[in-house]
Structure 1
């Protein structure tokens, strides 16, 4: 019954039925014409039987087409990869490996107190199916989510091939626009080909290092606002306070990116971020994993909430655009507006181009950086020796001066900590790609339509790259840079890889360094007794119950 309901909402299904009806009617008309000329003795029952035959023929043709789309397409792709020695769990019809993946998930989320997690930060338990299948099939294997075929990769040699692949024949998976359309739209993160190339050339240069230098003042301002807020709470609580840091960190990152993107209209832009967070939470159960085809089109309570938030975010951004056209500001929004007037926009209208690219910059730059910073504060609170080391370094480098980019560049211990946080807690668990044409990576031929997932956790925690302490917080491993930290630089990819590497990585690194420097030069932090260590994976790997710290003024 559920499957029939889903077909009702499928445009392809309706189109095929209509085509079958048209064929039947045309056949009936032709038969009538022939019979009326050559014979007047054929009974109406004969005409009915002929029409019924053609209707059944049309429906059977559609069923064959449906079977081809839902099974044979995927099976042919799997067969090509199997012949090359890549195996995987057997998928079921329609749902793929989703039922098996659900069975392997723990009945209750992993929760432990801080003492139990100390010295063990691995997040591998969040993905038990990948852990099990890696043991069974090796570091490269096949699996299916519905009718979408995936090639799982945790092989650094394969990562190297993707890193060197510059053709537009490989891009982002189509499911990102389908399942994540409300959140990401058709912006820089999800588009491919000439449309993506135009967006990248327009936007990326304004997020590079030379532009980041100009934003450092914003970072310091935002950090000082956080320090003032915490200072007031600490004073009101007699010198030490139990603070849940999540919202304060999100305010820090959203203030920065709102100024970078919206310029003088940053205050209005700030209204978008709570709605974006609500949208992320509403979409935390990916429909590609739900096992219900076309579920996102059903008017469920969650769907209606997603539609409402999407409309409100669109309205907020376009309201800023309307005011922005009257100003001469040269912020990132102006760059996006100019990009909407030239170049290949694909199926997007100029307004949609602007809104989707604003979302693709603002939401990841704010939320992904914020969650990384939250995990970073938890790790620093767990390792007071690194707090002291950073605090001393900041005081030595800055002395009585105001923090600037050159000073930030001299803080080696601070950078080492940020790199280690990104290794242990890669907030985006996967790097995703799709073969847009038949292509070859190394010795593997990948058929068109196959999705590729690089699992960061397997690479970031592999002892053969990182040594026996791979699961431990040890920033010292980065003392001589990334290339000397592990046996393969391809095993460290927190910002992605290849042509689609995150253009905002310099901005994110600077935000994290400034935040940690400002907090640790003003406060000492320890883990609160109320903190519960329970990483969860929804759209991002984040702390399920937030991070509570005991904060004390120095």
Structure 2
């Protein structure tokens, strides 16, 4: 574009000035070329030399692509081979290159995301020091524009904006408020159980893929708890966001191409169209709900009302000089809640049912506990809080199959992690998956499904109390973890009350990452009534 502008200008000036313009154009092009070479070659090599001089090891930099090509090749090879049933040693399949790098170079290793140097940490003490930071040494990496079409809320914010949004969102996730949402949880689970019961065949069984079923359950729960009586609009948002996520992930490799986001491709146009539809629905709900609250109408304590009331209270207490969230902010937080809530809970429930199908002895123990506490009645909060076996099972599933296999941070300034100093601008990847599968932490039975390791709580489940990180750690620990766990307990209890289940012959054990940890070929389960 710069060259084209210069050439167009050169054509319209006198001949005697054209050599000077061409010289200037050459200098500009050389300057741009030098900047590009600095970013793609000189800086990566300097950073690599600096960190290797401090004793760090890892893969060597390959111009432009880094480890992307090798990672793609290794993933394709690993993902082509399913795991044996009851095998929970999933890390070599899910992240083969990373596993080999940590095994060869230690629990802090170097790798390359294109020309970006990445430090992977699989040491829980170092990981907690990063996640516990309150002094502004780390920030969340910035996402590309199309990633932000999915959601640009609390997960992406930094500094004062993050502090304000977290404070305003906290009331909506207080335990007392979540208790009030239990009727919505149980209503959604009742609908799922009813639908599954009616589908049982004449032989008393039914095979189905529970993965889409449990995603729909999570979407239904979020729609009802976020928007109350407007849950039909909420389900429309869920459907649109599901499409948005699929389009994004399908085109992830192309999105890394410079300038791809600006191309008017059918996929890009549809993503912007979907985003506009989602925002239009949420904006309409916000306007209606805000009007109702201001006019003193009685509104249900769904998440949208709780957030709007918290926001209004903040503005009233602090005056217009310290504004709360804008409508756009509230829209993005609603999108974030849908995305994070649907993924986390549906992934946890799916792997729990798969694992309990592999280990029927634990399925039977969990069912006995549920029937002893509730019989065939709807589970209540106090009973859910007394569940011991079910809680141990959920924790062990979160250990073996964490929804998010890593957390990413970026250094804002020079910072010390452990005994080494890292420069500003470094990508830090905290590998939850490898810490959860580390035999030095969990013992030689690390790859076995043993819920009893959590019998005395999380802190005594391993020889490092900070090694269990399914929801993160520190100030940015997941705000919705109580919501997700209570929803999961409710769903598992109501499923166990009505069904026993086993893996179908068509099931293939093939976990892989698609934003979160998904079953590659679905989760085919054979249900039977009890």
* 3-state secondary structure, aligned to 1:525: strand
Q: Measured at CA, do residues 480 and 219 of structure 1 come closer, stay the same or move farther in structure 2, by a change above 3 Å?
A: same
The range that moved more, 394-403 or 379-388, is 394-403
How far apart are 1:319 and its partner, in Å? 2.6
Match of residue 219, structure 1, among 185, 206, 221: 185
Q: What is residue 526 of structure 2 aligned with on the other side?
A: 550
Q: What residue ranges of structure 1 are gaps of 5+ in the alignment?
A: 1-7, 9-13, 30-43
How far apart are 1:184 and its partner, in Å? 2.2
Q: What is residue 240 of structure 2 aligned with on the other side?
A: 275
1:182 aligns with 2:149: yes
1:94 aligns with 2:59: no
**For the residues of structure 2 that align with 1:79 and 1:408, how far apart are their CA atoms?**
54
* 3-state secondary structure, aligned to 2:429: strand
How far apart are 1:45 and its partner, in Å? 6.0
Match of residue 136, structure 1, among 99, 104, 122: 104
Match of residue 521, structure 1, among 462, 477, 497: 497
Q: What is residue 323 of structure 1 aligned with on the other side?
A: 288
Q: Measured at CA, do residues 190 and 320 of structure 1 come closer, stay the same or move farther in structure 2, by a change above 3 Å?
A: same
The range that moved more, 63-72 or 374-383, is 63-72
How far apart are 1:309 and its partner, in Å? 2.2
Q: Measured at CA, do residues 112 and 442 of structure 1 come closer, stay the same or move farther in structure 2, by a change above 3 Å?
A: closer
How far apart are 1:448 and its partner, in Å? 1.7
**1:477-516 → structure 2 map (5 Å cutoff):** 477-516=453-492
Q: Deviations over 1:150-175 (max 9, x none)?
A: 1111112211312432223312111x
How far apart are 1:353 and its partner, in Å? 1.3
Q: What is residue 52 of structure 1 aligned with on the other side?
A: 22
Task: Please say if residues 535 and 543 of structure 1, whose CA atoms lie closer than 8 Å, have aligned partners that are also in contact.
Answer: yes
Q: Measured at CA, do residues 104 and 250 of structure 1 come closer, stay the same or move farther in structure 2, by a change above 3 Å?
A: closer
Q: Deviations over 1:50-98 (max 9, x none)?
A: 3332332222222222323334344444444333222221222322221
Q: What is residue 40 of structure 2 aligned with on the other side?
A: 70
Match of residue 425, structure 2, among 430, 446, 449: 449
How far apart are 1:111 and its partner, in Å? 4.5
**For the residues of structure 1 that align with 2:512 and 2:72, how far apart are their CA atoms?**
15
1:229 aligns with 2:195: yes
1:380 aligns with 2:380: no
How far apart are 1:390 and its partner, in Å? 1.3
The range that moved more, 77-86 or 258-267, is 77-86
The range that moved more, 152-161 or 283-292, is 283-292
1:294 aligns with 2:259: yes
**For the residues of structure 1 that align with 2:169 and 2:149, how far apart are their CA atoms?**
21
How far apart are 1:526 and its partner, in Å? 1.0
Rg larger in structure: 1
* 3-state secondary structure, aligned to 2:181: helix
Q: Measured at CA, do residues 424 and 550 of structure 1 come closer, stay the same or move farther in structure 2, by a change above 3 Å?
A: same
1:162 aligns with 2:130: yes
TM-score (norm 2): 0.89
**For the residues of structure 2 that align with 1:127 and 1:357, how far apart are their CA atoms?**
31
TM-score (norm 1): 0.86
Task: Please say if residues 66 and 114 of structure 2, whose CA atoms lie closer than 8 Å, have aligned partners that are also in contact.
Answer: yes
**For the residues of structure 2 that align with 1:322 and 1:508, how far apart are their CA atoms?**
28
1:252 aligns with 2:228: no
* 3-state secondary structure, aligned to 2:460: helix
**For the residues of structure 2 that align with 1:349 and 1:310, how far apart are their CA atoms?**
20
* 3-state secondary structure, aligned to 1:284: helix
CA RMSD of the aligned region, Å? 3.0
* 3-state secondary structure, aligned to 1:490: coil
**For the residues of structure 2 that align with 1:181 and 1:390, how far apart are their CA atoms?**
40
The range that moved more, 398-407 or 86-95, is 398-407
Match of residue 141, structure 2, among 168, 173, 176: 173
**For the residues of structure 2 that align with 1:167 and 1:354, how far apart are their CA atoms?**
27
How far apart are 1:456 and its partner, in Å? 1.5
How far apart are 1:120 and its partner, in Å? 3.6
Q: Deviations over 1:193-219 (max 9, x none)?
A: 111111111113422323222222221
**For the residues of structure 2 that align with 1:507 and 1:320, how far apart are their CA atoms?**
22
How far apart are 1:482 and its partner, in Å? 1.0
Q: What residue ranges of structure 2 are gaps of 5+ in the alignment?
A: 294-298
* 3-state secondary structure, aligned to 1:327: helix
Q: What is residue 33 of structure 1 aligned with on the other side?
A: none
